[in-house]
Structure 1
Amino acid sequence: MLIIIGALIVLGSTLGGFMIAGGNPVVLLHVSEFVVILGVGIGVVVIASPAHIIKEIVHKTKHAMFGKAADKKEYFDLLKMLYEIFMVGRRNGLIALEEHVTNPKGSSIFAKYPNITGNHERMQFLLNGMKPVIDGKIKPDQLEDLMLTELDAKSAEADHPVHTLQMVADSMPAIGIVAAVLGIINTMSAIAEGPEAVGEKVAAALTGTLLGIFVSYGFIAPLAARIHTMNQGDTQYLRCILSAVAGFAKGLAPLTAVEVARRSLDSTVQPSSDELETTLKSMPAPGK
């Protein structure tokens, strides 16, 4: 929602300042300029991106507009869930975790946290990290590198739409110049129509330059930055899981492994140490 508010502020400030200076917003409405600039911008995206990235741009834009990053409560629930999982493994042996990891939909632990288990990517990252621990196929010290490799791949993939949008934002001022040049060409062919017609066409050409710069720095570049910030939030969530699972695999006590994960979080979403410890210690033993 904030991104919509920001866009309205950008648009309102620009048009408001123009009107205060005596301008008429109607003179900025030249459909031909919009067709050239926005059409070429969309074409650039199509040329530069495979189909799956175009779909991701649409998905990420919707998420940036209407979605939200994980908040403090969601991280608190994540840490509680991880603690329960680790306690089962500590008390009953790692083999006891197999039923939860191989069948997460039937897990009594995961069923308590639908807001977490509903995210497929996050759950898969957790399950992919826990399976080698249970199977014993790799050494505990190797698990962190394995999960870090997966995290880096996911982070790079998530930023593909950001790079495309940033490329379009960088191109928009030049596309605006193209629209302006086309407008000037059109103007030169209308000199015989008199000063009034020429002035109108020059204004339309200048609107093209304005629109290219305005769309670039007022909308597309900020959108790319917003998507990147939300991607960093998703990466932080996965890194929290990584820290906890890797710590548990290395032999840390459940409470300590969860504390390591807590310390990996930004202060804005990080539960306090005392609050978390008190909550975890007051939780009933898993299975009871």
Structure 2
Amino acid sequence: MNAIIGMLVTVAMVFGGYLLAGGKMEIITHALPFEGMMIGGAALGAFLAANDLTTIKHTVGDIASVFKGPKWKKQDYQDLLCLMHELLNVLKQNPVDIEPHIEAPNESDIFAKYPKILKDHSAVEMICDTIRSMIMNFDNVHQVEELLEAQLEGLQEDSLHGAHALQNMADALPALGIVAAVLGVIKTMAAIDKPPEILGGMIGGALVGTFLGVFLAYGIVGPFANKVKHNRTEEHFFYATIGGLLVSNLHHNPVNISVEVARRHAPARVRPTFDDVEQAIRELKKAA
């Protein structure tokens, strides 16, 4: 919602100020389709040339996230803590009983209670691989911490590909605007024998290219890139919460303590309260 409001405010203030200052929209509206085609087409072509198919698909999803916000909500963090509480209790009681859950999470009755987490391959993989390492007697806590840290760094790097691609596009747009403007000037020079009023309109149309490149870079695409980076960084805390909880358990802390450590690791905006988590765990015990 904020993204839509921000775009509307940006467009309204820029063009509103232009009109209030006595500017005429006819020049802009006449040149905009052609300048937009040159600048937008060049930006799109450069984007396709610079990125692989995975990054392109990722970027499309990232643009959608600008309007939807981060993937993980407060309820998801609470569900994660409940899921880990159940899994670690099973592991504590009998390590053999945990194997069906981590070897086939899609068939696990524990994971089935939390479908959104189950659909996230990265989260499930991190949970299952780390618990599998614990069963394999990885007694060196620091070794497991290093494995988790490397996995988290890889996840964060992958999640930011879209933001980097958008930022590169934003950096290129002002230069592409100049390219479009130069082409407009070339066209104007070819009509140097025209009356001054016609030449003025042609020069004004050429300058629309410079305006459009800078406006898109700093008014639309750049803010989108920053928003995507913010969303993906906040989402990364979800995976970091998993890592912190598992490491705490490896230090032989009780399951409840590990869950509380992880709860406090969550960002304040989406952090469930202590009472919420306790009530959810009590309900799980009653259901069991």
Tell me which residue corresponds to 2:269.
268
Q: Is the 8 A contact 1:126 1:241 kept in 2?
A: yes
The superposition leaves residues 4-44 of structure 1 with CA deviations (integer Å, 9 ceiling, x where unpaired) of 33222222222222222233333212122112211111122
Q: Is the 8 A contact 2:249 2:258 kept in 1?
A: yes
Structure 1 counterpart SS, 2:285 = coil
Tell me which residue corresponds to 1:9.
9
Supply the distance in 1 between the matched residues of 2:286 and 2:83 (Cα, whole angstroms).
12
Distance change in 2, residues 1:279/1:65 (3 Å)? closer
Deviation for aligned residue 1:52: 2.2
Structure 1 counterpart SS, 2:5 = helix
Tell me which residue corresponds to 1:48.
50
The superposition leaves residues 65-89 of structure 1 with CA deviations (integer Å, 9 ceiling, x where unpaired) of 3454312121111111111111111
The superposition leaves residues 93-115 of structure 1 with CA deviations (integer Å, 9 ceiling, x where unpaired) of 22211111111122121111112
Deviation for aligned residue 1:238: 0.2
Structure 1 counterpart SS, 2:270 = coil
Q: Is the 8 A contact 2:244 2:261 kept in 1?
A: yes
Distance change in 2, residues 1:63/1:205 (3 Å)? same
For structure 1, list consecutive stretches of 5 or more residues without a partner in the other structure.
none
Tell me which residue corresponds to 1:76.
78
Are positions 1:95 and 2:92 aligned together? no
Distance change in 2, residues 1:62/1:274 (3 Å)? closer
Pairs within 5 Å for 1:217-228: 217-228=218-229
Supply the distance in 2 between the matched residues of 1:275 and 1:259 (Cα, whole angstroms).
12
Tell me which residue corresponds to 2:195.
194
119-128 vs 142-151, greater mean Cα deviation? 119-128
Are positions 1:18 and 2:44 aligned together? no
110-119 vs 202-211, greater mean Cα deviation? 110-119
Q: Is the 8 A contact 1:190 1:197 kept in 2?
A: no
Distance change in 2, residues 1:64/1:129 (3 Å)? farther
Q: Residue type of the partner of 1:232?
A: T
Distance change in 2, residues 1:69/1:25 (3 Å)? farther
Supply the distance in 2 between the matched residues of 1:62 and 1:107 (Cα, whole angstroms).
31
Deviation for aligned residue 1:3: 2.0
Q: Is the 8 A contact 1:182 1:205 kept in 2?
A: yes
Pairs within 5 Å for 1:227-238: 227-238=228-239
Percent identity (aligned): 31
Structure 2 counterpart SS, 1:280 = helix
Tell me which residue corresponds to 1:65.
67
Tell me which residue corresponds to 1:34.
36
Tell me which residue corresponds to 1:216.
217
* Correspondence for 2:87 among 78, 85, 88: 85
Supply the distance in 2 between the matched residues of 1:236 and 1:26 (Cα, whole angstroms).
49
Q: Is the 8 A contact 2:77 2:270 kept in 1?
A: yes
Report the TM-score, using the length of structure 1 for normalisation: 0.92
Supply the distance in 1 between the matched residues of 2:186 and 2:117 (Cα, whole angstroms).
58
Supply the distance in 2 between the matched residues of 1:2 and 1:127 (Cα, whole angstroms).
37
Q: Residue type of the partner of 1:8?
A: L
Supply the distance in 2 between the matched residues of 1:136 and 1:144 (Cα, whole angstroms).
14
Deviation for aligned residue 1:192: 0.7
